[in-house]
Amino acid sequence: MNVNGVTSQPAGSYSYTSAVTEQPAAEASSAAKTEESGVVYEPSKESQTASAKKTYKPNTDLVNKLKADAEARTAQLRSLVEKMMTKQADAYGQANDMWSLLRSGKLSVDPATRAQAQADIAEDGYWGVKQTSQRILDFANALTGGDPDKLQDMRDAFEKGFKKAEKTWGGSLPDISQQTYKAVMDGFDKMAEDAGVTFKN
């Protein structure tokens, strides 16, 4: 068979008409991409919101710092109390326990110890209402990483701890403790208000 007859046809003896109309470059590019991928995914607003949800992590550095500070200050307070108890061994021996002795208020304290204790519980002292309540709130915030969904748990834990302290004390805690309790609860209320959270009572 001779193929020369097929390949040697004069130019222009064949005609071809395209049925496809020309598209603008942008549409053609978009159509090509759609054809290549098969499906175009457009995320909904809900999925964008879910992926943008903030994650909360405990601030372990602050938690450790607050713990170390509390331990050091507690040791200092313990030392003051031990000093008082040592000087009053007879009175302590007659008391039912340390808490009842402290509750009675029948302690004689040397001037230096008294001055230190008064400075510690003063309005701006380390064990005063302002600093103590702020440390409790900072600790709760550090433990939760600021997660507003954990505020209820932190508030409940604080209430439980306060009731346990009253039980150990053997009754209602001193006025400074009551003021601190109120300041902490007010702080939790403010945090909840700022975060748009409602507490269950």
pLDDT at res. 89: 47
pTM: 0.56
Residues of the chain with pLDDT under 70: 1-52, 77-99, 101-103
In DSSP notation, 58-91 reads: --HHHHHHHHHHHHHHHHHHHHHHHHHHHHTHHH
Report pLDDT digits (tens) over 62-98: 888 888 887 877 777 666 555 544 544 444 454 446 6
Over the stretch 40-55, which tens digit does the pLDDT of each residue have?
556 666 555 555 677 8
Q: Residue 102 — φ and ψ, nearest 5°?
A: -65, -40
- Tokens 């405990």 correspond to what residue? 58
